[in-house]
Each structure stands twice: as C-alpha cells, then as structure tokens.
Structure 1
Amino acid sequence: MINIVVAQASFIAALMFYMGVIYTSAYYGHFHLSPFFLGFGFAEFVLQSLHLMTFPVLVGAVVLLIAVAISGRRPRQALPGGLVRVASLGTSVLARYYLVVVVAGLVLVVLWWVWQLLLPYRWLGPLLIGLGLLLGEARRIDVDHTPRGLRDTAVPIFAAGVFLLWTVTLAAGQLGEQDARNAERDVIQRTGLVVFSAKRLGLTSRSPDLHFEDLGNSVHLRYRYTGLRLIAARDGRYYAVPIGWSAKTDHVYVLREADGMRIELTPGVQ
C-alpha cells in the first residue's frame, strides 16, 4: 500500500512539475524571459501548475469521476437507473465508433498543423485521438474476453498516453500565453516601481507614461524614474516594463538595487 501511494504521489508530482514548466515557459516567454534564467525551483514549478486548475478543468475532472463511479459495480447500485443506462449507452456507442473519434482528432491536428486553424482549440485534436485509442481498447476488452498479450495492450495504451501528454502540453502552453497577454493588457494594474539613481540609467521607451525627473545636485539619488510595472523579482533583480508595454516592440528592464540605486514598490493603478 505504501509503495502504491508513493508511486502515485511521485507520478502526480512529476506531472505537476512538467505542467508548471510548460506554463511558466509560455508565460515568461511572452516577456522575453525564461523561468530557468529566473531561477525557478521544483516547488515553484509545481505551484505554478495550479494555474491550470480552471473551471473547465474542474468540471471535466468531476465528470470523469462520475464516469468512473458509474463503471464500478458498487457505486452503480447507489446511482439512479436512468443515469446509469444513459452513461452506459453513451460509452458503448463511443467505443463502437472509436475509429471515428480517432479520425476526427487526426483531422483537427491536420487543420491546425497545415492551415493554423482552430488555434484556441489546438489541444482538442490530440485529446480526441487519445480518448479514441482508450475507447478502442475498452471495446476490445468487452467484446473479446480471451486473454491478450502485453504487447497488444501496452502499445495502444502507451500511444494514448503520448497523445494525452501532448494535450496537456498544448493546454498548459496556451493558458500561459493567454495569461501573459492578459497581464500585458492590464499591466497598469501590476505593482509599480519608482527608481531613484545617482546616475542616469538611460531608460527609454515609446510609452509617454515612463517619466524621468532630475531632483537636483543636492540629492544623492537625484534621478527619479516612474511609470514602470513589475513582472518578476528574483535574487535582488527586478524585471520591469513600462506602462503601455508591447511584446513585439518594447524591452524588459532588469534593475538591481545597489548603493547608487533605490527601488520602491507602489500599488498599481486600477
């Protein structure tokens, strides 16, 4: 029992780490950064994977749990007979036409790969292929009651696992890109930076909201910069962008607090 629990926990942790890497790479890649350059660790990648726990994902997990409960013998008796019959009929129909599900997934993959169509739903093709392969394997078990070799069962299950992992990869990357675009659009709401420096930093931008002010010779940190928003802060370095930042044309500033520089954090403008 302990070995089973440890194995399952290790698999879940590895999957969360993988999803966290894909998500953070897509998110910070939009800002021309890399999570490995920022020094993210294993625990941080695992925590970042929690961004994938969106409402559609939770609904899908609940539906999957209900389907598993219906397929069992004991839980089936506790559920309404109509629900069991409808679920069993739907599963049997899908299993009977599993090749149609696989072909539909292949068509979606080709449409995305060749014509770049259905980009918001590019994960749907691999998902249908993986589910179709699993449905086909379930149908063979129900129809053919004779024992099957390990190779006959391992190959389709492994292929389905590969396509489902591809689905997770595409979904995590797409969610990271979407969250990064939302952060770019609402960058004014992020934590603000006020930079005081003894020397001019030469921060330039197309944005009119990036302001520079000379406080005079009587002030040690005489140069004051405002209009910056924080993207990440790691190991004494602040990664900031100006208000109105664009991923296609603008730079990301890397600032490090030192004796000749002071950085103050302010609330973002709502």
Structure 2
Amino acid sequence: MPSTISVIGALLSQVAFVTGVLYYFGWAYSHAYFAYFGVDAGALGFTTQEYVLRSLNSLFRPGMFTLLAILVLLAGRWLPELHARWSRRPRRTLRRWVEVTGTIGVALTAAVAIVMFVPTSVAGPVGIYAPFVLLAGMVCLGFASRLRWKYRSLLGIRAPRTAADVVASKTRILVLIAVGMVAYVWAVAAYADRRGLDDAQHAASDHFIDKPSILVFSVDRLGIDGAGAQVGEITMPGEKYRYVYSGLWLLARTTDRYYLLPQLWQAKTDRVFVIKDGDTIRVDIARNP
C-alpha cells in the first residue's frame, strides 16, 4: 500500500509540474501576443484553463524537443562507461570525462551568471539563450557528479563513503535538479514570449485572415475609425440602431467586451477599439472570407 501511495503522489506531482509549465507558457505567450497590439492580457480575464489551452498548439515543438532531449540524455549517460571500457586506460578516460564535463558545466553556469548580473554590451542579445545554456551546464555537472559517485575507486577517490558524503551528494543532486527546472521554465517562457510576438507580427502582416469579421450596430456614434474601418448611417424608420461599423476584425472577447481592430491595422499607428456589450449595440460575427 505505501508503494501505491508513493506512486500516486509522484504522478500527481508530475501532473502539477506539467500544468504549471503549460499555464506559464500560455500566460507568457498571451502577454507577448496582445502586448504587440497595446492590450494588457491581464485585462482580458483569462482563466487558468484558458491559459493552458492557449499553450497547447504552440508547445508542440518544444514538447517534442524536450522528449527527444530526454531520450538522448538517457542513452548518452552510458557513453563515458562505454568509452572507458573500450579504451586501454579506463581510469584516465573516466577522469577526462569528469574533468571535461565538470569544466564545461562550471563555465556555462558562470557565463549565465555573468550575463544575468554583470551589465555588458552583449548581455541583451546573448540573454535570450541564457536558459538553454544554463540547462546544458546543469546536464554537464550532473554527468560529472554521477561519474564521481559511481566510480569513486576507479577515479582514485580512496576515502570511504560517509553519511556526510551521502547527504552532500543528495543535496548536490537536488540543487542541480532545482536549478535545471528553473532553467527549463525560464526557457519555456523565453520561447513563449518570442512565439507570441512572432505570431502577432505574422497575423498583422497577413491582415488578420484568420480573425472573424465584425459588424457593430449601435444606437449612438462610437467614434470608431482607422485604416479600413467604415461607418454607415441607417435611415430606415423604426430601426433601433442608427449606425453600422464595418471593416473590423475581432482580436479578443471577454464576458462583456469586444476588442476590435480596423481592417488595415498598422502597428504604432492604429488603435484597438474596446466595445462594451450592452443594449445599445449589437455585434454580428462572420467568418473572414
């Protein structure tokens, strides 16, 4: 029974971590996407479920890359042992592996620390790669730690293992895992931010062909203008609505508001119109032809 409970607990912790990553990706993606149009995604009131759902399509590539990277790492962990067996000097070979992987890990981690905390001219351009570099550093340090722990005698470490050594080893592993998880979430957020901005720019360059077309009927003038937006006056007697606005795309919708773009919206030139739902307006939504 305890083993079953521990397995269930482990599964739940993994599900919680994956859900957190999906939520964070959806949040970062949405904020970057809508920020391009000058809209704060926080004002749209997305729920946790909506953030998770918004992340699924864009996470396909990084998800596949993550799975492939895990498979490569699982297969590659035996490379030092195989190399040592095939070489004529296994002790020297393993020492080289420990020295090289450990040095690379320290160098990569130090490089990220410099980029993060020391202002330099290259910090900005290089900073986007920092989480991936940090992940690679943690992998290298993990390889070195595993080899040192598993082949102590072969590496010439003659001192017997003590309780303090076990605690130090477990602490080191936990630190590496914790930093690796932080780096992974950081990398996901960086990718999401870049992907959100790219998708927004792509949508604008394609003139929002995937957005629904909007007609707004209003009792009063709404002051909607901009490139491509048009307004017509309804003069039929007995008609409730006096004005109709066309040439608009739907950017987002909340429970009580519509966020609309003029048909030929241009960044830094045109506005996003926020229309509050109510009895004085009617919004018709049609598929973009």
Same fold (TM over 0.5): yes
Contact 1:111–1:117 (8 Å) recurs in 2: no
Contact 2:216–2:246 (8 Å) recurs in 1: yes
* Partner residue, 2:288: 268
Contact 2:32–2:194 (8 Å) recurs in 1: yes
Q: Please state how far the C-alpha of 1:157 moved relative to its aligned partner.
A: 3.9
Q: Which residues of 2 match residues 108-123 of structure 1 at below 5 A? A: 114-115=121-122, 118=125, 122-123=127-128
1:48 aligns with 2:50: no
Q: Which residues of 2 match residues 159-170 of structure 1 at below 5 A? A: 159-170=179-190
Q: Deviations over 1:51-70 (max 9, x none)?
A: 33243652442242243255
Question: Does the residue aligned with 1:170 lie in a helix, a strand or coil?
Answer: helix
Q: Please state how far the C-alpha of 1:162 moved relative to its aligned partner.
A: 2.9
Question: Does the residue aligned with 1:164 lie in a helix, a strand or coil?
Answer: helix
**Residue 138 of structure 1, aligned match among 124, 130, 143:** 143
Q: Which residues of 2 match residues 126-205 of structure 1 at below 5 A? A: 126-144=131-149, 145=152, 146=161, 147-148=165-166, 149=168, 150-189=170-209, 190-205=211-226
Output the CA distance in 2 between the equivalents of 1:227 and 1:65. Answer: 50
Contact 2:251–2:260 (8 Å) recurs in 1: yes
> Which residue identity does 2:224 align to in structure 1?
L
**Cα distance change on mapping 1:127 and 1:31 into 2, 3 Å:** same
Contact 1:196–1:225 (8 Å) recurs in 2: yes
* Partner residue, 1:245: 265
Contact 1:129–1:163 (8 Å) recurs in 2: yes
Q: Deviations over 1:151-183 (max 9, x none)?
A: 444444433333333222211111111112122
Question: Does the residue aligned with 1:18 lie in a helix, a strand or coil?
Answer: helix
Q: Provide the identity percentage.
A: 25
> Which residue identity does 1:216 align to in structure 2?
T
Question: Does the residue aligned with 1:230 lie in a helix, a strand or coil?
Answer: strand
Contact 1:210–1:243 (8 Å) recurs in 2: yes
* Partner residue, 2:234: 215
Moved more, 21-30 or 227-236: 21-30
Contact 2:217–2:245 (8 Å) recurs in 1: yes
Question: Does the residue aligned with 1:239 lie in a helix, a strand or coil?
Answer: strand
1:11 aligns with 2:20: no
Q: Please state how far the C-alpha of 1:26 moved relative to its aligned partner.
A: 1.3
Output the CA distance in 2 between the equivalents of 1:163 and 1:45. Answer: 21
Question: Does the residue aligned with 1:22 lie in a helix, a strand or coil?
Answer: helix
Output the CA distance in 2 between the equivalents of 1:192 and 1:229. Answer: 5
Give unmatched runs, 5+ long, in structure 2: 1-6, 87-93, 153-160
* Partner residue, 2:158: none
Question: Does the residue aligned with 1:258 lie in a helix, a strand or coil?
Answer: coil
**Cα distance change on mapping 1:169 and 1:106 into 2, 3 Å:** same
Q: Which residues of 2 match residues 30-45 of structure 1 at below 5 A? A: 30-45=36-51
Q: Please state how far the C-alpha of 1:256 moved relative to its aligned partner.
A: 3.0
User: What is the alpha-carbon root mean square deviation over aligned residues?
Assistant: 3.2
**Cα distance change on mapping 1:34 and 1:159 into 2, 3 Å:** same
Contact 2:101–2:143 (8 Å) recurs in 1: no
How does the TM-score come out when normalised to structure 1? Answer: 0.78
Contact 1:105–1:127 (8 Å) recurs in 2: no
Q: Deviations over 1:80-126 (max 9, x none)?
A: x99xx9xxx9x9765563344445656776999635764xx743222
Contact 2:234–2:243 (8 Å) recurs in 1: yes
Output the CA distance in 2 between the equivalents of 1:55 and 1:29. Answer: 23
Question: Does the residue aligned with 1:158 lie in a helix, a strand or coil?
Answer: helix
> Which residue identity does 1:186 align to in structure 2?
D
Q: Aligned residues, how many?
A: 252
**Cα distance change on mapping 1:163 and 1:62 into 2, 3 Å:** closer
